Amino acid sequence: MLITLSILGGFIILTLGAEALVRGASSIALRLGITPLIIGLTIVAFGTSAPELAVSVKSALAGNSGIALGNVIGSNIANIGLILAITALIRPIQVQSQVVKRDIPLMILASMLFWGLLLDGELSLIDGVVLLSLLVGYLAFSYISSKNSNEEEEIDAGPNNPLLSVLFIVVGISMLVGGGILFVNGAVDLAKTFGVSEVIIGLTIVAIGTSMPELVTSVIAALKGQSDIAIGNVVGSNLFNILGILGVTAIVQPVSALGFQSIDFIVMLAFAVIILPFAWTGLRIGRREGTVLLLGYLGYMGYLVNQASTQALV
């Protein structure tokens, strides 16, 4: 009972914290003249990825590398196979050519780099510095690009008072930290109770739970016709998960890849690659593409459930 309350309570706090952070950050960003697409790729993506950051850092510090790494891999898979799929099923997503030509290819390259850095079995301090440096470069380039854009689309800017926006950010970060601690503690206890490895828990329960803010944000954005936010949120979150979250986590505490299989990285990379032709065709991701993504995700989840069942019986 306590485990369930810990996971659910942590998840609720994480979701509310991400919402507060996104609203506050978006409000400030819009005042700086940053376009909606760039906000989706950066500010909103960072805000909705903040639960993953809180969970991964907490897990790494506690020595739970399986959850820290599984959280990022599982979240990147869920962002595309579950969140982007559901969003497209609700309402087809229009994709800007910039996303197809620059941001999705960058996400693919980041996924390949991530896998390459883990070939030695660990993300080290140096690996973390490399990843974080690439994120800084991406943010700088995105900001410069936004200044050269003539995009005029409006989005929900959040609070009008700058001080209130800052308060939203502070409260949001605080809730993310607290919710992350609750959520991880519950997930670890759950793994121990059922005899399932932290890797499986990280790839499934933790990954899906910390990806819920992305789901809520993308679905709401799609329903409002704000396709830039919807697709930018998913692509940007995946970039942040690899370059930012793993970068910070590895700097704080080296992360071991022990217990992970090649199929986990192959599935993550496959989902990143497959949306490129999907988005390129007519610059939209429709319900047919959404169905393919969702079926692929359910297949992978079925594989993990089977793995968990096998472990529990051993």
- Strand ranges (DSSP E) for the chain? 93-94, 122-123, 255-256, 284-285
What tens digit of pLDDT does each residue of 289-314 get? 999 999 999 999 999 988 878 766 55
175 class by beta-carbon count within 10 Å (0-12 exposed, 13-18 middle, 19+ buried):
buried
Give the CA distances from residue 176 to residues 51, 57, 142, 209, 230, in Å, rounded to whole numbers and listed in that order. 6, 12, 25, 13, 22
Query: What average pLDDT score do residues 127-143 get?
Result: 89
85 pLDDT exceeds 90?
A: yes
Q: List the chain domain ranges.
A: 2-313
280 pLDDT exceeds 80?
A: yes
Note the pLDDT of residue 314.
Answer: 57
The answer to whether the beta carbons of residues 285 and 95 sit under 8 Å apart is yes
The pairing of strands 93-94 and 284-285 is: antiparallel
Maximum average pLDDT range among 70-74, 92-96, 261-265, 294-298 = 294-298
Instruction: Pick the more confident residue, 288 or 166.
Output: 288
198 pLDDT exceeds 60?
A: yes
b (16+ CB within 10 A) / e for 114-145: bbebbeeebbeeebbebbbebbeebbeebeeb
Dihedral angle sign, alpha carbons of residues 154, 156, 162, 167: negative
What confidence tier does 157 reach under pLDDT thresholds 50, 70, 90?
low
Note the pLDDT of residue 210.
Answer: 75
- CA angle in degrees (0–180, nearest 5) for 294-297-299: 110
What tens digit of pLDDT does each residue of 204-227 get? 888 887 777 777 777 777 777 766
Maximum average pLDDT range among 46-60, 157-171, 236-250 = 236-250
Neighbours of 162 (CB within 10 A): 12
Query: What average pLDDT score do residues 41-56 get?
Result: 73
CATH class for the domain made up of 2-313: mainly alpha
Give the CA distances from residue 78 to residues 86, 153, 192, 294, in Å, rounded to whole numbers and listed in that order. 11, 28, 24, 9
The answer to whether the beta carbons of residues 250 and 59 sit under 8 Å apart is no
152 pLDDT exceeds 50?
A: no
Q: Of the given ranges (53-67, 141-155, 161-175, 270-284), which has the lowest mean pLDDT?
A: 141-155
b (16+ CB within 10 A) / e for 44-63: bbbbbbbbbbbbbbbbbeee
Neighbours of 291 (CB within 10 A): 13
Note the pLDDT of residue 174.
Answer: 81
Q: Of the given ranges (52-66, 92-106, 148-162, 184-198), which has the lowest mean pLDDT?
A: 148-162
Instruction: Pick the more confident residue, 68 or 296.
Output: 296
Note the pLDDT of residue 153.
Answer: 46
138 pLDDT exceeds 80?
A: yes
189 pLDDT exceeds 70?
A: yes
Note the pLDDT of residue 158.
Answer: 56
Across the chain, mean pLDDT equals: 82
Query: What average pLDDT score do residues 80-100 get?
Result: 87
Distance CA 156, CA 270 (A): 33
Take residue 217 and report the two structure tokens written for it.
């944000």
Cα dihedral 128→131→137→142 (10° resolution)? -130
Distance CA 208, CA 205 (A): 5
93 pLDDT exceeds 80?
A: yes
Provide, rounded to the nearest whole percent, the portion of the chain with pLDDT above 90: 27
- CA angle in degrees (0–180, nearest 5) for 105-108-114: 140
pTM, to two decimals: 0.81
What is the chain's percent helix, strand, coil content, to nearest 5? 85, 5, 15
